[in-house]
Structure 1
Amino acid sequence: MLSRLGAHLAIGLLKFLALLPYGFVARLGDGLGWLLYQIPSNRKRIVHINLSLCFPEWSAEHREEIAQKHFRHAIRSYVERSVQWFGSAKKLEKLVQVDSEIDLSDPDMPPTLLLGAHFVGIEAGSVFINHALNRQCGALYQPMSNKVLDDVAIAARGRFGADMASRADSARIVLRWLRDHKPVMLGADMDYGARNSTFVPFFGIPTCTLTAVGRLAKVGHAQVVPFIGEVLPNYKGYRLKVFKPWDNYPTGDDDADARRMNAFLEEQIPLIPEQYYWVHKRFKTRPPGEPSVY
């Protein structure tokens, strides 16, 4: 666990990097990712297991290529927290291209759940969609184990007017936000354990998937609008892709609604497979009786 001193040093480094040109910072993170990929690690092993499970048809050479690219992207994403957390609004506006199928500035937007997918650019996308909304919104977060980093992350992610709430305290708060017509940002495509989850296919694998999105949308009478933060090639910044609301959602069937999210990911991940968050143990929780894949 990172010590308080280590956390303060890390924050100081990020603030310093935020002063430097984005292209330099991005290349620094990419180079560090390449270097760390050369060293055997548990995270590297997890990336390969996930890719093998989801894309068994790939050759070993192609899987190795995507794994290395992803590892570089993942490490780079942590280095780029510098500009995402501490860069000015003007700097972010120059770095983020917005490609939205809805009017983010619409003052009459109905109750909305903004569903962020865990691609490596999710941090940039989440911070900037908050800025682009030009209105107060709500956002859920997963608390960090280090209190110093957690406090800084909350302040940075909410600096454009977002109310932040821990995922553990979310349901009551989210429903209140929706009643107040605040758009609510959340991410649900990770393994948070069997509680409030169901097992539905993800690339053909029974996968522990949260049912909260459909339930919150039903009770809060909210539309669900997915978004993706994509890292642009050649160190040009990011693209915030905001999709139109899902039709006929929620259905009221927890399994069908959870499967809808996974189906959306199955459509989007092959477009930029190196950018999905493969370092996460997406298949950590297995159906009863099934052994661990990790």
Structure 2
Amino acid sequence: MTQDSPCYRVAFHRRLLAPQYWPAWLAVGFLSLLAWLPPRGRQGLAAGLLMLCRPLCRKPMRIARANLAACYPQLSREEREAMLNRLLHCFLSTALGMGELAVRSREYLSERIQIQGLGHLQRAQDSGKPIIFLVPHMFALEHAGVGLTMMGLPMVGFVKHHRNPVFNWFACRQRIRFGGELFHRDMGIATVIRALKQGNSLFYLPDQDHGPRQSEFAPFFGAQKATLPVISRIARCSGAVILPLSSGYVGDRVQIRIDPALSVESLDRYDEARALNQQMERLISRHPDQYMWFLKLLKTRPEGEARLY
């Protein structure tokens, strides 16, 4: 980010080659090599690493286990543990495959990423309005952003600064390799609205827990979740169209599915929160074991309910 532009840019610099960053470069090189391994090969490697990584992932596994118990009370403990195993396998496969977004060709990625529902996207574009894609935290989310950018859609993304500058450079490079701009996620709603008014499109992820201050509790699967109902204000101020979008791995492909436009502008705060959670449930249910259940989604609890984490 510079004084002249609010965009978040990370340029390569020679200081990134200092010895303290060599382990990070080894990791980047390893991911770049794995990018040339077929997806099923990475899935097999992830399966082999599963038992080794479980002891290293105790905290995220504990969080995911609590989330699954709260959201899927109808499932048995054995069913939830099986889902947790699939979740960890998908997480590892995704991590091993992140290099492909940074080094593989446009032709390869266009073949790997398949987008359905382009008619809904075309209608939104024909209206001349910017687009807010309503999306949950799925493991294939980065592929969705790259896929839309490769189509020529002007996209902006919001990032969190990584403490390791090599990983920070690598992550930002892969996200804007085919176009688009990045902003730091602390830039605020005004920056989001300004970017949309300039004709950009963006992903809006309403499923994180932002605390009780301005949130509304609404049903989310089998639990009550604190949800921030602000997308209606963003859409109203920017004139944007809201398109729900899901992303998931299906065999050797990444399947992106765009749904018809959603209207929440006329809803009150609770009904908007409920509508957002209903959309999240629907989109997550297409690939339930590819959702980031490791997040503290239910950190804020209704009065009188015990903490989950």
Q: TM-score, normalised by structure 2?
A: 0.84
Q: TM-score, normalised by structure 1?
A: 0.88
**CA displacement 1:218-274 (0-9 Å, x = unmatched):** 2112111121111113xx12101111111x322252322222121012223334321
Q: 1:22·1:83 contact (CA, 8 Å) conserved in 2?
A: no
Q: Distance in 2 between matches of 1:200 and 1:41?
A: 29
Q: Distance in 2 between matches of 1:123 and 1:237?
A: 14
Q: Distance in 2 between matches of 1:205 and 1:143?
A: 31
Structure 2 partner of 1:202: 220
Structure 2 partner of 1:143: 161
The match for 1:97 among 110, 114, 118 is 114
How many residues are treated as equivalent by the alignment? 288
The match for 2:77 among 38, 60, 72 is 60
Q: 2:120·2:259 contact (CA, 8 Å) conserved in 1?
A: no
Q: 1:102·1:243 contact (CA, 8 Å) conserved in 2?
A: no
How far is the alpha carbon of 1:145 from its aligned partner? 3.5
Structure 2 partner of 1:243: 259
Query: What are the equivalent positions in structure 2 for 1:55-204 lying under 5 Å apart?
Result: 55-102=72-119, 104=121, 108=126, 109-132=128-151, 134-194=152-212, 196-204=214-222
RMSD: 2.4
Q: Distance in 1 between matches of 2:145 and 2:84?
A: 25
Q: Distance in 2 between matches of 1:46 and 1:82?
A: 27
Q: Distance in 2 between matches of 1:269 and 1:145?
A: 30
How far is the alpha carbon of 1:289 from its aligned partner? 5.3
Identity %: 27
How far is the alpha carbon of 1:65 from its aligned partner? 1.2
Q: Work out which of the two has the higher radius of gyration on C-alpha atoms and give 1 or 2.
A: 2
Structure 2 partner of 1:280: 295
Structure 2 residue ranges without an equivalent (≥5):
1-19
How far is the alpha carbon of 1:60 from its aligned partner? 1.9
Q: 2:249·2:255 contact (CA, 8 Å) conserved in 1?
A: yes
Structure 1 residue ranges without an equivalent (≥5):
none
Q: Distance in 2 between matches of 1:13 and 1:52?
A: 36
Distance 1:249 1:102, change over 3 A: farther
Q: Distance in 2 between matches of 1:84 and 1:30?
A: 22
Distance 1:285 1:232, change over 3 A: same
Distance 1:53 1:161, change over 3 A: same
